[in-house]
Amino acid sequence: MKKWVYVVIAAVFMLSILGVSDTGSAAKETWVSEKPSATSFRLKDLTAVITVKIKNNDNNVQYFKIGQVYQGSLSENSTIKWLIQWTNPAAVKMVKSRTPELGGDYGWKVKPGETKTVSFGLRATGDMGEIPSYIVNVESDNSNYWPLINEPGLMSSWFMPNEIEVLNPSLDLRYWKGTFGFTLINIDEEKVSGIVRAPIAPANSKLVYSSPKAFVDDDLFVSTQVAAWDVTMDPETSQRFVYTYEWPAKVSGGNGSTSGGGYYPPGTLQGTTGSSSVPGAKTGAPYGPLVIGVLVTAAAVAYTKIIR
């Protein structure tokens, strides 16, 4: 049985890989490496407010907690570290911690059959939170092109909101909503223009709000609708950006508006339901065939972790 399970995981994983480019994205652009010290736009004050609804499908009590370290598509060996600002309802401290240096791990208990909704606020610390920084594409091409070269702008990173279901199949993520904010700074002595993408974008989710209003880049990552802005900034000025995603949703289009701020019409996206009929911890799934559900979800998460 074990051998059969491994074979199916490998098959699903390979099919996922074959559907994308060797960089793990459906990007139409080639990213060219640049010197971080020569980039005029920097990010700081990255924040996140997350709301989740999770059901415990087990007969025993289960726990889930807030993850305080995020890798994503960052520069090599770099992470975003989060400080917990508040929780609602109050979280309890866990018996063990992955990140004691960030104050320890906090989370919630879910009773058997219970559905719990929680919200919490996070603030990035370190390079993304206190030092102006920006996300780079690790797989940027070092080749030299001449006489013209493409300028893709600033990179984004992405994750799957329902990864909790792979960590614990008893926990079924029914709903996820995330509002992110960051401050963009022009550290140059001249006016600078370029494309700036959301530092963090959830896969299989819909962009429901942004300010200023973003255009949608749905070619950067598979099944990911990345908020992007065409930005022009005067010397040594800054601007705050806020955007909100909801999960689950199937991405099926974009919105070209780039001015002002506001909501995105439902017609630009195709919604899905958080079914509880195929198997479903930090950031769930239903029970049709339990084994197949778990395998597909596991392959999807493995896919995100390896290629992003």
Predicted local distance difference test score (pLDDT) of residue 291: 31
Give the pLDDT mean for 218-236. 92
DSSP secondary structure string for all residues of 173-219: EEEEEEEEEEEEEE-SSS-EEEEEE-SEEETT-EEEEEESPPEEEEE
pLDDT band at 59 (very low <50, low <70, confident <90, very high): very high
For residue 275, what are its two tokens?
A: 């079914």
CA dihedral 224, 181, 73, 154 (to 10 degrees): 90
Structure confidence by residue, pLDDT tens digits, 174-203: 999 999 999 999 999 999 999 999 999 999
Is residue 11's pLDDT more than 70?
Answer: no
204: left (phi over 0), alpha (psi -120 to 50) or beta: left
Q: Which residue has the higher pLDDT, 115 or 10?
A: 115
Short-list 67, 178, 171, CA closest to 115: 171
Structure confidence by residue, pLDDT tens digits, 36-57: 888 999 999 999 999 999 999 9
Q: Provide the domain limits for residue 283.
A: 2-307
CA dihedral 86, 88, 93, 96 (to 10 degrees): -90
- Report whether 19 contacts 125 (CB < 8 A): no
Q: What percent of the chain has pLDDT over 70?
A: 72
Which residue shows structure tokens 């439902």? 266
pLDDT band at 277 (very low <50, low <70, confident <90, very high): very low
Give the pLDDT mean for 231-239. 96
Amino acid at 6: Y
CA distance linking residue 153 with residue 236, whole number of Å: 19
* C-alpha dihedral sign at 140, 143, 144, 149: negative
For residue 190, what are its two tokens?
A: 């001249």
Residues 6+ apart with CB under 8 A from 295: 5, 8, 9, 12
Please tell me the total number of residues recorded for the chain in this structure: 308
The total domain count for the chain is: 1
- Report whether 42 contacts 184 (CB < 8 A): yes
Q: Which helix (H) or strand (E) holds 295?
A: helix 290-307
Is residue 227's pLDDT more than 80?
Answer: yes
Give the pLDDT mean for 97-111. 96
Q: In a 3-state reduction of DSSP, which class is residue 260?
A: coil
DSSP secondary structure string for all residues of 73-93: S-STT--EEEEEEEEES--EE
pLDDT band at 106 (very low <50, low <70, confident <90, very high): very high
Predicted local distance difference test score (pLDDT) of residue 265: 65
Q: Across 144-158, 202-216, 253-267, which has the greatest mean pLDDT? A: 202-216
Is residue 128's pLDDT more than 50?
Answer: yes
Q: Which residue has the higher pLDDT, 24 or 230?
A: 230
For residue 3, what are its two tokens?
A: 């051998």
The model's pTM is 0.78
